[in-house]
C-alpha cells in the first residue's frame, strides 16, 4: 500500500496466510483508560487475541503514517504521550498530512481496518447518541461509519453516559445489525442489561460466522454489532452506577464540556468517582470482547 499506510510484519504475515486477524482501536488506549493501566491493558488485549490463535492489529497514526499493527514502542507512545490526537474519519487525513500522531476511534478504526482487508474488530463500547442530543446534535460519527462499513464489531453496547434507546433507534435507521451474544438484552457496558431488548440472539462464534458469511454473500454494506455483556456477577452495582453517572453528567454541564471532549471527560469522571471499580470492569470488558472477536475471526477463517 502507499507509504501512508504501513502494515506490521505480524499482521502482514497473517494476511498472506489468510489467518484470522482482529482489529483494535487506539482511542480507548489514549483517551479511554487512565495511565499507566492503559498500556498494560492494551498489551493484555493483544495477548488475549494471540492466545486464541488470531493476530491483533491495533490501529493508530504514528509520525503521519497509519499503522495497522503497532510495535511495542509505538503502542507505548500512544498510551503515554500528550501529543496524540483523537481522530474520527474526518480528522485522519489532517494528522497524516501534517506528520502527527493520533489514536483512532471506532469509526476511524473501522474505516482503516476495512481498507486493510480486516473484517473483525473488538472494542469496549461504541460511541452513540448523547443524552442532550436534542439540543446539541451530538451523535458519534461511529454510527455513520458503522452504516457503511462491513465489519463485525464486538463490544459491550454503549456506556449509559449516552442515550441508549436513541442510539439503538439510530442503529436501526442506519441499517446496522445488532445481535446479543448469549442474550436478548442489550448490554449497558458497566451494566449487564441496559434495559433495552435485542431481537436476535447468537450463542456461538460459529453462529456469528454464519451470519457474517450471509451478509457477505448478500453485499450488506453495514456493520454487525455483536453485543457481549459482562456477566451479572461482574457488573458495577446499578445503584452505584446510577449515582456516579448522574454526578458525572452534572459535572460536564457545570464545566461546559462539549464536542469530542465529552466522551473522554465523562469516562475519566466515572473512573475517578468509582474508586477503580469501573477500570476493573472496563478491563474485563475489553479482554472478554477481544477473546470473543478472536474466536469469531477463527470461525470465519
Task: Provide the CA 295 distance to its chain's centre, in angstroms.
Answer: 17
Gap between the Cα atoms of 140 and 146, Å rounded: 11
Closer by beta carbon to ligand PSU, 167 or else 205 = 167
Say how far apart CA 279 and CA 268 lie, in whole Å. 10
Distance of closest approach, residue 73 Cβ to Mn ion, in angstroms: 31
Say if residues 3 and 97 touch (Cβ distance below 8 Å).
Answer: no
**91 binds Mn ion per the rule CB under 5 A:** no
Q: Is 215 in the site for ligand PSU (CB under 6 A)?
A: no
Is residue 288 at the binding interface for ligand PSU, with CB under 6 A as the rule? no
User: Of 127, 180, 187, 229, which one interacts with ligand PSU (CB under 6 A)?
Assistant: 127
Task: Identify the DSSP state of 129.
Answer: B
Handedness of CA 215, 183, 44, 158 (dihedral sign): positive
Least separation in angstroms between CB 249 and Mn ion: 15
Choice between 59 and 300, CB closer to ligand PSU: 59
CB count within 10 Å of CB 204 equals 13
Cβ nearer to ligand PSU, comparing 15 with 69:
69
For the four alpha carbons of 176, 188, 42 and 86, in that order, the dihedral sign comes to positive
Asked if 163 interacts with Mn ion (CB under 5 A), we say no
- Which residue is associated with the grid cell 449516552? 162
Helix axes 37-51, 277-300, angle to 10 degrees: 30
Per rule CB under 5 A, is residue 138 in the interface with Mn ion?
yes
Region 48-107 residues binding ligand PSU, contact defined as CB under 6 A: 88, 105-106
Backbone angles phi, psi at 184, to 5 degrees: -105, 10
Closest among 281, 277, 274 to 243, alpha carbons compared: 274
Q: Which stretch binds Mn ion (CB under 5 A): 39-47, 82-90, 137-145, 278-286?
A: 137-145
Q: Which of ligand PSU, Mn ion, none does residue 177 bind (CB under 5 to 8 Å by kind)?
A: none
**Does residue 222 touch ligand PSU according to CB under 6 A?**
no
Shortest distance, CB of residue 36 to Mn ion, whole angstroms?
27
CA distance 154 to 93: 26
Return the number of the residue (138 or 193) whose C-beta is nearest Mn ion: 138
Q: Which residues pair with 84 in a beta bridge?
A: 101
Q: Could you say whether residue 241 binds ligand PSU (CB under 6 A)?
A: no
Nearer to ligand PSU, 267 or 299 (CB): 267
* Residue located via cell numbers 491493558: 41
DSSP 281: H
Q: Which residues inside 159-178 make contact with ligand PSU, applying CB under 6 A?
A: 159
C-alpha cell read off for 80: 503515554
The interface with ligand PSU within residues 12-31 (CB under 6 A) comprises 25, 27-28
| Residues designated as active site | 25, 159
Residues interacting with ligand PSU, by CB under 6 A? 25, 27-28, 32, 88, 105-106, 124-125, 127, 140-142, 159, 189, 260, 263, 267
Amino acid at each position: 500500500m502507499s507509504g501512508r499506510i504501513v502494515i506490521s510484519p505480524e499482521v502482514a504475515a497473517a494476511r498472506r496466510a489468510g489467518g484470522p486477524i482482529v482489529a483494535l482501536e487506539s482511542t480507548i488506549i489514549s483517551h479511554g483508560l487512565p495511565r499507566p493501566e492503559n498500556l498494560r491493558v492494551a498489551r493484555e488485549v493483544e495477548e488475549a487475541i494471540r492466545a486464541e490463535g488470531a493476530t491483533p492489529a491495533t490501529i493508530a497514526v504514528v509520525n503521519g503514517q497509519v499503522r495497522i499493527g503497532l510495535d511495542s514502542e509505538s503502542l507505548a507512545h500512544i498510551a503515554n504521550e500528550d501529543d496524540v490526537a483523537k481522530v474520527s474519519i474526518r480528522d485522519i487525513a489532517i494528522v497524516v498530512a501534517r506528520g502527527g500522531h493520533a489514536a483512532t476511534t471506532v469509526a476511524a478504526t473501522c474505516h482503516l481496518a476495512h481498507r486493510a482487508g480486516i473484517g473483525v474488530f473488538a472494542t469496549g463500547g461504541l460511541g452513540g447518541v448523547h443524552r442532550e442530543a436534542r439540543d446539541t446534535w451530538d451523535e458519534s460519527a461511529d454510527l455513520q461509519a458503522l452504516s457503511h462499513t462491513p465489519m463485525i464489531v464486538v463490544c459491550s453496547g454503549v456506556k449509559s453516559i449516552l442515550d441508549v434507546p436513541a442510539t439503538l433507534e439510530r442503529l436501526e435507521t442506519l441499517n446496522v445489525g445488532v445481535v446479543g451474544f448469549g442474550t436478548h438484552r442489550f448490554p449497558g457496558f458497566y451494566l449487564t442489561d441496559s434495559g433495552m431488548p435485542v431481537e436476535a440472539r447468537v450463542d456461538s462464534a460459529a453462529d456469528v460466522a454464519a451470519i457474517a458469511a450471509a451478509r457477505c454473500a448478500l453485499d450488506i454494506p453495514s456493520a454487525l454489532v455483536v453485543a457481549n455483556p459482562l456477566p451479572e456477577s461482574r457488573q458495577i452495582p446499578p445503584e452505584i452506577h446510577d449515582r456516579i453517572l448522574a454526578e458525572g453528567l452534572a459535572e460536564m454541564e457545570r464545566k461546559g464540556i462539549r464536542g469530542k471532549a465529552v466522551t473522554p471527560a465523562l469516562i475519566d469522571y466515572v473512573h475517578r468517582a468509582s474508586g477503580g471499580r469501573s477500570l476493573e470492569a472496563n478491563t474485563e470488558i475489553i479482554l472478554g470482547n477481544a477473546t470473543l472477536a478472536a474466536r469469531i475471526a477463527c470461525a470465519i477463517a
